[in-house]
Amino acid sequence: MVGDAILARTILALDTPNLGQACEWVQQYRERVYAFKIGGALAMGHGLPIVRMLREAGATRVFLDLKFHDIPHAVALAVRQAAEFGVWMLTLHCGGGSAMLQAARAAVADLPSPPLLMGVTVLTSMDADALREVGVPRTPRAQVLRLARLAHAAGLDGVIASPWEARMLRRRLPPPFLIV
């Protein structure tokens, strides 16, 4: 059984398209986990009002993991909308570049409690061959570091990292930059 101390730092993924199931998980775990993550299936099936529904079910922190990646203006509008629905944290794909990341930061800068903006560097499904296929001549580890530094320079709050890169990133990007 997972210890309470570990659960208290856990973000539980609501990886289901079923709203009833997601609300049931929130009610079951709301006192034990730190936050709840909404991915594409739940967000596309129910739209951003799902954030309010989950908060009403007891989720105090909702993490929207849609990895925004578009032109800066479009991302800024999307990030602002997510913030207005009460999202606690959201993801942006760092491959969108510094202008996109900075536009996202500017879009929520005037809010009293803006969401945490977290960069996604390299998807864990991508190896060196997959990176070469899309024109990236670096190893996954080198590309993760490159994009994490870009996220840091653009003013993001942190990055989402696999366990294989978290320690390396922490050595190079000290707090308050977050590694989740």
Kindly report the average pLDDT of the chain as a whole number: 96
pLDDT above 90: percentage of residues in the chain = 95
Residue 178, both tokens: 């977050």
Nearest to 102 by CA among 88, 117, 112: 117
For the cut 80, the answer to whether the pLDDT of residue 174 exceeds it is: yes
Domain 86-95+102-180 has CATH 3.20.20.70: yes
Q: What is the pLDDT of residue 8?
A: 76
Domain map (residue ranges) of the chain: 86-95+102-180
Q: What is the pLDDT of residue 2?
A: 59
For the cut 90, the answer to whether the pLDDT of residue 170 exceeds it is: yes
Residue 67 annotated in active site? yes
How does pLDDT run across 71-115, given as a tens digit for each residue?
A: 999 999 999 999 999 999 999 999 999 999 999 999 999 999 999
The one catalytic residue among 67, 93, 105, 152: 67
DSSP assignment string, 2-71: --HHHHTT-EEE---S-HHHHHHHHHHHTTT-SEEEE-HHHHHHH-THHHHHHHHTT-S-EEEEEEE-S-
For the cut 90, the answer to whether the pLDDT of residue 6 exceeds it is: no
